[in-house]
């Protein structure tokens, strides 16, 4: 708690400082990007443009990739694989994570498997999935599910374990049912770790998907990256990688980050108090329902 306060005061201090001089940092950052591009250009000129393409060549290739090289087809193939795999992994991880966080037996049974699964790299799963399933679109999905699920389970498991036990006990005292506890305490409390896990999972799963596509799928961004690597076209590799990273960043900052702040807004308000109020209201409602039921002859 004190840590949080400290961070918030530091944050507001930083905000004030930022407010005082907005122009200077922006200018500095633009200069930094300019300097970096200039260094890249000089390095390319010095080493040889046939080995390192200059930034403008990569930029031109990027435009060409987006306009003329079946960008939409490959991109949708990869994004679809990533999304399916991520949804499946999140489903597995949420069920498993909540079970592990609330039940000692489930925790003991799965903790070794989850921690062991984290050790296996995405690369291994990508290779194995391609070898076992063959060159079909399912291989990347299987690889991602196997590689990402342990990590997400770990997140949600820890989120569930960090539940507010006091609120749980209070809910029991006020006779809030199992479903009410799940809905008002467990779900809001682990929502951040689910969305945080989705963020983490997205970052990992697009890399594993591209890897699996690279080893033997005939469509998707990974296939294009591999094709360009085989014909020794570095500008093609860079252009495809940049385009895909941009789309993924767009999904992360445009979709998942707003979702995260939306779902965690209750934390920013006086958290425990508001949850307690909601619980009390719920308990009152439950009692009312119970009492009316008792009165009304069935």
Partner 1 sequence: MTTTVESRTPAAAAASNRRRRDAGGIWVRAMAAVSVLLAWWLTSLAFTGVVPSPLVTLERLWHIVRYEAFVSSVAVTLGRVGAGMAITVLVAVIVGIAMGRNRIVELFLDTFVLIGRTIPGLVWALVAVMVVGLNNSAPVVAVFLTATPLVVLQIWEAAKAESRDLFDMAKVFEVGRAGRLRHILLPSLVPSIVAGTKLGLTLAWQVVVLAELFGLGSGVGYQIHENFSNFDIAGVLAWTLSFALIMAFIEYGVIGRVQARLVRWRPATELKS
Q: Round to whole Å and give the CA distance between 293 and 290.
A: 5
Among 9, 12, 31, 76, binds partner 1 (CB under 8 A): 31
Q: How far is the CB of 130 from partner 1 (least distance, A)?
A: 8
When asked if residue 249 is in the footprint of partner 1 (CB under 8 A), the reply is: yes
Task: Kindly tell me which of 43 and 284 has the beta carbon lying closer to partner 1.
Answer: 43
Task: Kindly tell me which of 197 and 222 has the beta carbon lying closer to partner 1.
Answer: 222
Encoded tokens for 113: 């498997």
Write the CB contacts of 15 (distance below 8 Å, at least 6 apart in sequence): none
Q: Contact at 8 Å (CB) between 130 and 139? A: yes
**Site map 33..52 versus partner 1, x via CB under 8 A:** x--x----------x---xx
Among 238, 239, 276, 279, binds partner 1 (CB under 8 A): 238
Helices (H), the chain: 2-20, 23-47, 55-68, 71-102, 104-119, 122-133, 138-161, 165-173, 178-181, 187-214, 221-230, 234-251, 257-263, 265-268, 271-295
Q: Which residue has the tokens 């767009």?
A: 250
Q: Round to whole Å and give the CA distance between 22 and 26.
A: 7
For partner 1, which stretch binds (CB under 8 A), given 69-77, 106-114, 185-193, 268-276? 106-114
Write the CB contacts of 110 (distance below 8 Å, at least 6 apart in sequence): 96, 99, 100, 153
When asked if residue 257 is in the footprint of partner 1 (CB under 8 A), the reply is: no
**Site map 118..147 versus partner 1, x via CB under 8 A:** -xxxxxx--xx--xx---------------
Among 177, 232, 250, 254, binds partner 1 (CB under 8 A): 232
Binding site for partner 1 (CB under 8 A): 25, 28-29, 31-33, 36, 47, 51-52, 105, 108-113, 116, 119-124, 127-128, 131-132, 165, 203, 206-207, 210-211, 214-215, 225, 229, 232, 234, 237-238, 241, 245, 248-249
């Amino acid at each position: 708690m004190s840590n949080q306060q400290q961070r918030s005061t530091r944050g507001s201090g930083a905000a004030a400082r930022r407010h005082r001089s907005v122009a200077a940092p922006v200018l500095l950052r633009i200069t930094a990007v300019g300097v970096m591009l200039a260094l890249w250009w000089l390095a390319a000129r010095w080493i040889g443009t046939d080995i390192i393409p200059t930034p403008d060549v990569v930029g031109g290739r990027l435009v060409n990739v987006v306009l003329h090289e079946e960008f939409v087809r490959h991109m949708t193939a990869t994004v679809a694989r990533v999304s399916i795999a991520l949804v499946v992994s999140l489903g597995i991880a949420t069920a498993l994570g909540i079970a592990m966080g609330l039940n000692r037996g489930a925790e003991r049974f799965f903790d070794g498997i989850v921690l062991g699964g984290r050790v296996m790299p995405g690369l291994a799963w990508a290779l194995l999935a391609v070898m076992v399933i063959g060159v079909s679109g399912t291989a990347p999905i299987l690889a991602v599910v196997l590689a990402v699920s342990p990590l997400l389970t770990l997140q949600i498991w820890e989120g569930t374990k960090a539940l507010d036990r006091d609120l749980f006990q209070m809910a029991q005292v006020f006779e809030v049912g199992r479903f009410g506890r799940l809905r008002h305490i467990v779900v809001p409390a682990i929502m951040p770790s689910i969305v945080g896990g989705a963020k983490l999972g997205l970052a990992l799963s697009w890399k594993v998907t591209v890897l699996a596509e690279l080893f033997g799928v005939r469509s998707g961004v990974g296939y294009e990256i591999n094709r360009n690597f085989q014909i020794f076209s570095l500008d093609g590799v860079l252009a495809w990688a940049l385009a895909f990273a941009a789309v993924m960043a767009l999904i992360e900052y445009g979709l998942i980050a707003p979702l995260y702040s939306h779902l965690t807004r209750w934390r920013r308000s006086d958290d425990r108090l508001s949850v307690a109020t909601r619980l009390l209201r719920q308990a009152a409602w439950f009692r009312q329902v119970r009492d009316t039921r008792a009165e009304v002859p069935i």
